[in-house]
Every structure is written in C-alpha cells, then in structure tokens.
Structure 1
Amino acid sequence: PRAVPLTDDAARELLGRYGIDVRPTLPAPGPDAAVAAAARLGYPVALKTTAPHLRHRPDLGAVRLDLADEQELRRSYRELTEALGQPEELQLVVQAMAPRGVDTVVRASIDAAAGAVLSFGLAGAASELLGDVAHRLVPATDRDAAELIRSIRTAPLLFGWRGSDPVDTAALEQLLLRVSRLVDDHPEVVGIALEPVVVAPQGLSVLGATVRLAPPPARDDLGPRRLPSY
C-alpha cells in the first residue's frame, strides 16, 4: 500500500514512451569510472551526487559543472570525496552538460480530495522556501498548461526578465501535457518529479526524474477521470 519508486532505468523508459527524454547519467563509483563515463557521454560533463541527503543541497557544492576534460573531472572527483565523504556514500554520477537556461520543477501527485494534480515551479528557493508553486487538476488542457507556467510569481524569469533571453515556454507546456497524460493513463502512478528541468531559449532538458507507484487510490465516482466539456 505504500508507494515505491521505480528504478532509474524503468522510470526513464516509462517517461520515454510519453516523449519525455531524461538526460542519461552514468555511475561513477571511482575516478577511473568517472573518466570512462565522460568519454562515453562526451565532454563537457557534470559530476554530481545522487545521495538523497545531498541531492538538493547546492549550498554544499555537491555538483560540479562544465568539466571540460579528464584533468578537471579527476580534480573535482577528489575535491568532492574529500569534502563530503566516500564515493559509495555520495553515489556519484556523470552527466553530459545541458544547455543553460532556467531551472524548473514539474511534479504530479495524488491529492486525497482533488485527485491527480499537476504542479510547476522554479527549482530551488522559489518553490522550496517561498512556496511559489502553481497547480492544476489532471487531465490538463493546453490552456491549463499555459496558465500554469504564467501563474507563479517568478514567471517573468521565463519570459525575458530584465533583458535575459526568454526560454522555450512552448516546449515546457508540451512537457506538462505529457506528464498529465501519463498520470491520467496510469492511476497507479501516484507521484512524478522531474527536477531539474532546464528550459533553454530553444528546447529543454530533464536532468532528473523519479516515478512512484502504488495501488490506485479508491475512487467513489463511476465515470472516467475527465473534466466536463462545455
């Protein structure tokens, strides 16, 4: 009865069937493995921890970005393990760098009263500390997706705030609709978290994903899970 997470590979496969591509990561249990992973993925790469207690702690320096060659990768590996712990504790991985953009979070979960809910916010303090997150019921329409990304207080950062380049909000809206469709198709999917989703001026990159499964929650209605159309 308690939700259990899919493995990373299974989550990536399920999401991929809905056109949601998660940028691959390769395990780096040692510096030589990290170098081999980078050679396979291609430089520049990121080196980061996936340990639950460190995953969302950028203040601890648990992520190193734009590592251009083997020398930089080995140095960063040594610095991370010296500062934060042994490789097996850090669960280090190597990932190809994504184009720069705005870091966002896309989630779906089951609310006991409302049912499936789609959520969106910016990654980091905006959503975690200030609660700047918007929600819509599943299934979401294209209008819902457009309103969702525009209804958070930090939305101007997506649309060229103070001269910055606007990001690809059309790609972001499509991602929201795909997550909504997946959850609507599979009631046993009780939680999805895509974090971060880096939205660039052209396209986006999903860097991390978790999917949780549980027996479908009991429903007291007899009709399909759809909003009425007018």
Structure 2
Amino acid sequence: MKAYGIPLIKTRFAKTAEEAVIAAEEIGYPLVMKVVSPQISHKSDIGGIKFSLQNAAEVKTAYQDMIEGIQKKLPDAYLEGVQLQPMLSGGKEVILGMVHDPTFGPMLMFGLGGIYIEILKDIQFAIVPVDEREAREMITGIKTYPLLAGVRGEKPSDINALVDIIFRVSNLVFDFPEIEEFEINPMMVFEKGKGALAVDLRLILKSDM
C-alpha cells in the first residue's frame, strides 16, 4: 500500500499488553485496538475491535479482555497480537475493493461504506485497469454520490483524493495477478482538500499461484 502511495492511517503492532500501552502512548488517545490473526478476517464478528480507548489502563484491560474472549470463542485461532490506530473524527466511510469476475477478470468496486453498502447495495464496478476518468465515474455513478458532493450545507468530500486512490489501487491489483480479493473497508474520506485514509485492509491471495 505504501509503495503505491495509498495513504494509510497511523498503525502500531503489539504482541503483549505492555507493548500495547507503549504503542498507545506513541499514537495518542483516543484510539482503536484490533486483533491480528490469520484466521480472523471480520474482526467485529468475534469481539476483535475495541473503540475509544482513552488511557493506558483502558488499553491494558482491552487487550486482556479481547485476547481472552477470542481464545474462548476460537481456541484454534493463532493470535499474533493487536493493531493500535488513532480514532478518526469526521469524514465519511467508503469501501474500495477488487474481485475476480470469471469473464472480465479483476474488477474494482466502489461505494459508500457502513450501512449504505449493507442496505442499499449502492456500488459501482469497473474493469481493471482504470484511468482517471473511469475512477471519477465510479464515484459519481453511485446513487448516494450527493452525500459525498455535499448536501444541506455539508462541505463536499475530497473527491480528487478518492480518484487518485482508486487509480493507485487499480495499478496495484493489475500489477499483482496473484491477488484474488482486495478490500479497503473503511476508507475514510474527509472534506475537500483534506484527503482520505485507508483504515482497514483485507487481502486474499490465489491458492493456485
């Protein structure tokens, strides 16, 4: 992601509660804690995310509760540790991903994140690779685009930043055909001129490469 210039949220990794506290002090509060495990793709389903941690004591308790809780639910899962990230305020959630179509090959997918993707299924697809025009059309093509453009006095989101990120993700998945699935969810996009940040990433490699 960094090699392709895709902006990432500041992230620290910790293997113990003590390391988590040290990392938290470096990042600052409030922050988010996420479990790291090759067997766990959707972290929220098994209590693998803790939000709004405000101090070292909360970080230590959250680490212990998270690891112990997951070990009870998934005793065979290998838990590498946790990721720590700052809590983001403002902005809107979008989802950006890639799936393989049997006919067309790798296809990019874009839509608003959160409840919009789950309830409205409001997404746009484009065949990889995309150029800047196609990337912009993916954004403006969703039904909920007015929410990004700014409605009822809201400031518009940074569409140009999203266009640039879509273009970069397109290049990434095009250059590496061994990627089977790729998903940034959420990508937080802020108001115009303030950019966007990838917050969480899921990547699956082909098993036959």
Range into which the TM-score falls when normalised by the shorter chain: 0.7 to 0.9
Deviations 1:6-50 (A, max 9, x none): xxxxxxxxx221111333433445432321111233333222345
**Would you say 1:211 and 2:183 are equivalent positions?**
no
Quick one: structure 1 residues 129 and 53, their matched pair in 2 at CA, closer, same or farther if it must change by over 3 Å?
Answer: farther
Deviations 1:141-177 (A, max 9, x none): 2111111112222222212233323211110110000
Quick one: structure 1 residues 192 and 85, their matched pair in 2 at CA, closer, same or farther if it must change by over 3 Å?
Answer: closer
Give secondary structure in 2 for the equivalent of 1:177. Answer: helix
Give the TM-score, by structure 2 length.
0.79
Give secondary structure in 2 for the equivalent of 1:146. Answer: helix
Return the letter of the residue paired with 1:214. Answer: K
**Would you say 1:146 and 2:120 are equivalent positions?**
no
Greater Cα shift, 148-157 or 43-52:
43-52
What is the percentage of aligned positions where both structures have the same residue? 31
- Backbone CA RMSD of aligned residues: 3.1
In 2: Cα distance, 1:85 partner to 1:55 partner? 10
In 1: Cα distance, 2:100 partner to 2:137 partner? 20
Question: In structure 2, what is the equivalent of residue 55 of structure 1?
Answer: 43
Give the TM-score, by structure 1 length.
0.72
**Would you say 1:175 and 2:162 are equivalent positions?**
no
Deviations 1:193-230 (A, max 9, x none): 1111111111111111233333899xxxxxxxxxxxxx
Question: In structure 2, what is the equivalent of residue 21 of structure 1?
Answer: 7
Quick one: structure 1 residues 179 and 128, their matched pair in 2 at CA, closer, same or farther if it must change by over 3 Å?
Answer: same
Question: In structure 2, what is the equivalent of residue 108 of structure 1?
Answer: 98
In 1: Cα distance, 2:170 partner to 2:94 partner? 17
Question: In structure 2, what is the equivalent of residue 124 of structure 1?
Answer: 114
- Within the candidate set 182, 198, 201, 1:192 is matched to 182
**Higher RCO structure (Cα 8 Å, ≥6 apart):** 1
Give secondary structure in 2 for the equivalent of 1:129. Answer: helix
In 1: Cα distance, 2:62 partner to 2:163 partner? 36
Question: In structure 1, what is the equivalent of residue 56 of structure 2?
Answer: 70
Q: Tell me the number of residue pairs that the alignment of Structure 1 and Structure 2 aligns.
A: 200
Q: Unaligned 5+ residue runs, structure 1? A: 1-14, 218-230
- Within the candidate set 77, 80, 83, 1:93 is matched to 83
**Would you say 1:37 and 2:23 are equivalent positions?**
yes
Greater Cα shift, 19-28 or 97-106:
19-28
Quick one: structure 1 residues 189 and 112, their matched pair in 2 at CA, closer, same or farther if it must change by over 3 Å?
Answer: same
